[in-house]
Homo-oligomer: A and B are copies of this chain.
Amino acid sequence: MLPDLLDGLVADPFAVLNAVGLVAFALVGATKAIREEFDLFGVTVVGLGTAFAGGATRDILVGRVPLALQSFGEISLGLLGVALAIALSVTFDDADEHPVAVASDAAGLAAFATAGAIVATDVGVSGFGVVAIAVINACGGGAFADILLDRSPFILVEDFYASCTVLGGLTYWLVDVGAFAGVVGSAAGTAAACCAAVTIGARFVGVYFGWRLPTAQSLAVHTSRGER
């Protein structure tokens, strides 16, 4: 199975990142819902919502019928993630914090941010729009799940997670309109590869070093210390 995965990764790296990400996102979301003792319908909705609500929001923003409603393949991967979460919940309390889940989630983050940047560029929004849609595509599902779980989206409060997709989206836009913009075909492919690499790289580095963004309060403390 591993050799197959590696072969696939070489042939179409994005399809593999995307598939791994869908399973991981659904598993992470479903595990959170299991922890809150949601029923099986609730666990499925939160799991699929985590995997697909970001992409659906992207599609709504650019005026398309969400892709997730049009194909069985992607939904099957989401349902696989939900089923895995339910099966693993018997043995693990925190299947979503297992290193394999965290790494697969990072793969999804990169795939979804890149997909968002590509769609946004196709529609012709501004540079801000490209970054915003990359972030929404990658992080919107998790934020939607947290709202269903009656809490503030964790991406707004802690961790170095959404910031990776900001960096990724920005990279895509800079490469696509920047130095390589004359050579459109190659620029889009290069921009996608750079976006994915920056997003997943930033995520791994952030997890490794336990990075988190400062709050305004911590900035104020640093400022007043600086003034002394």
A positions within 8 Å CB-CB of B: 33-34, 36-43, 45-46, 56, 60-66, 68-72, 75, 85-86, 89-90, 120, 123-129, 132-133, 143, 147-153, 155-158, 162-163, 166, 212-217, 219-220, 223-224
A156 with B46: in contact, given A60-B60, A61-B65, A90-B224 (CB under 8 Å)?
A: yes
Integer count of this chain's copies in the complex: 3
- Closest B residue to A223 using CB positions: B90
Q: Are A38 and B215 neighbours in the complex by a CB distance under 8 Å?
A: yes
How many Å lie between the Cα of A156 and that of B33 in the bound state? Answer: 9
Q: Which residues of chain B are within 8 angstroms of A43 by Cβ–Cβ distance?
A: 215-216
Partner of A62, one of B65, B90, B150: B65
Partner of A148, one of B46, B126, B133, B152: B152
Please report whether the interface of chain A is mostly helix, strand, loop or mixed according to DSSP: helix
Q: Are B150 and A41 neighbours in the complex by a CB distance under 8 Å?
A: no
Partner of A128, one of B75, B126, B155: B75
How many Å lie between the Cα of A217 and that of B41 in the bound state? Answer: 14
How many Å lie between the Cα of A157 and that of B89 in the bound state? Answer: 17
Q: Which residues of chain B are within 8 angstroms of A163 by Cβ–Cβ distance?
A: 41
Q: Are B216 and A71 neighbours in the complex by a CB distance under 8 Å?
A: no
Q: Which residues of chain B are within 8 angstroms of A150 by Cβ–Cβ distance?
A: 150-152
Q: A41-B162, A90-B220 are in contact. List 10 more A-B contacts (CB 8 A).
A: A36-B152, A40-B215, A41-B155, A43-B215, A46-B156, A56-B61, A63-B64, A70-B124, A89-B217, A150-B151
How many Å lie between the Cα of A75 and that of B164 in the bound state? Answer: 21
Q: Which residues of chain B are within 8 angstroms of A126 by Cβ–Cβ distance?
A: 69-72, 75
How many Å lie between the Cα of A57 and that of B72 in the bound state? Answer: 21
How many Å lie between the Cα of A152 and that of B145 in the bound state? Answer: 10
Residue in A151, A153, A212 whose Cβ sees the most chain B Cβ within 10 Å: A153
How many Å lie between the Cα of A71 and that of B125 in the bound state? Answer: 8
- Closest B residue to A159 using CB positions: B39
Q: Which residues of chain B are within 8 angstroms of A41 by Cβ–Cβ distance?
A: 155-156, 162-163, 166, 213
A39 with B127: in contact, given A216-B86, A220-B90 (CB under 8 Å)?
A: no
